[in-house]
């Protein structure tokens, strides 16, 4: 008789423990968790006030540029990109700014990408690695982005005298509009 009373107590305890464990772990795999991490790190990034910066960018994909690129960003837009291996200028439209990488992550969450693994810099919040596969039924949509060596740049008159951006006239116009009038 004692055994019968003891058995339901054990069953309820085990069920309660399993429920608590599953409830606590469910957040690890939910889109809400990804969204929370994105917003938390985007806020960290924005809090630094870095609108103009340089960084090393590498993309692994079925695409034209897979070598590391040094990217110059002014007011949140990539305006200059140079292959690190040979200093060749490339069109900055083929690279991303950190702001556009945050937008890429946001779209991946919203569209429920099959794979979306993001590692963020713990102190500054920018994504250091993004692995994405938008759909299991589409070939060659997989991409990996890596970001490193993020450095702020000061937009001073000296910085403008050395920059020439022949690939994007709009970017050159942007820089000229930001430059002091005496340049």
Confidence of residue 120 (pLDDT cuts 50, 70, 90): very high
Contacts of 105 by beta carbon, 8 Å cutoff, 6+ apart: 34, 38, 116, 118, 127, 130
Q: How far apart are CA 9 and CA 6, in angstroms?
A: 5
pLDDT digits (tens, 9 = 90+) for 136-147: 777 666 888 999
Q: How far apart are CA 56 and CA 71, in angstroms?
A: 6
Does residue 134 lie in a domain region? yes
Does residue 183 lie in a domain region? no
Given a cut of 80, whether residue 131 has pLDDT beyond it is yes
Does residue 171 lie in a domain region? yes
Q: How far apart are CA 36 and CA 59, in angstroms?
A: 25
Helix (H) or strand (E) holding 102: helix 98-110
pLDDT digits (tens, 9 = 90+) for 15-59: 444 444 444 443 445 558 989 999 999 999 999 999 899 999 998
Q: How far apart are CA 69 and CA 85, in angstroms?
A: 8
Give the domain range for residue 7. Answer: 2-178
Distance of CA 58 to the CA centre of its chain: 12
Counting the structural domains of the chain, the total is 1
Confidence of residue 118 (pLDDT cuts 50, 70, 90): very high
Residue entry with tokens 């022949």: 166
Q: Phi first, then psi: give them for residue 78, nearest 5 degrees.
A: -65, 125
CATH number at residue 39: 2.50.20
Full-model pTM: 0.68
- Assign 132 to helix, strand or coil: strand
Sign of the CA dihedral running 66, 111, 46, 121: negative
pLDDT digits (tens, 9 = 90+) for 65-113: 778 999 999 998 999 999 999 999 999 988 999 999 999 999 999 888 8
Q: How far apart are CA 18 and CA 11, in angstroms?
A: 11
Does residue 138 lie in a domain region? yes
Given a cut of 80, whether residue 5 has pLDDT beyond it is no
Per the model's pLDDT, the better-predicted residue between 114 and 180 turns out to be 114
């Amino acid at each position: 008789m004692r055994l019968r009373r003891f058995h339901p107590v054990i069953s309820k305890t085990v069920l309660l423990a399993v429920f608590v464990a599953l409830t606590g772990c469910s957040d690890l795999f939910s889109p809400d968790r990804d969204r929370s991490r994105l917003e938390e790190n985007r806020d960290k990034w924005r809090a630094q006030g870095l609108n103009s910066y340089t960084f090393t960018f590498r993309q692994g994909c079925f695409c034209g540029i897979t070598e590391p690129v040094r990217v110059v960003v002014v007011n949140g837009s990539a305006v200059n990109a140079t292959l690190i291996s040979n200093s060749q200028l490339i069109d900055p439209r083929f690279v991303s700014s950190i702001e556009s990488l945050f937008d890429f992550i946001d779209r991946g969450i919203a569209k429920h990408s099959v794979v979306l693994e993001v590692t963020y810099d713990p102190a500054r919040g920018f994504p250091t690695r993004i692995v994405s596969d938008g759909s299991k039924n589409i070939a060659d949509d997989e991409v990996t982005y890596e970001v490193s060596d993020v450095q702020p740049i000061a937009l001073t008159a000296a910085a403008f005298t050395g920059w020439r951006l022949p690939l994007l006239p709009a970017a050159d116009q942007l820089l000229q509009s930001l430059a002091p009038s005496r340049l």
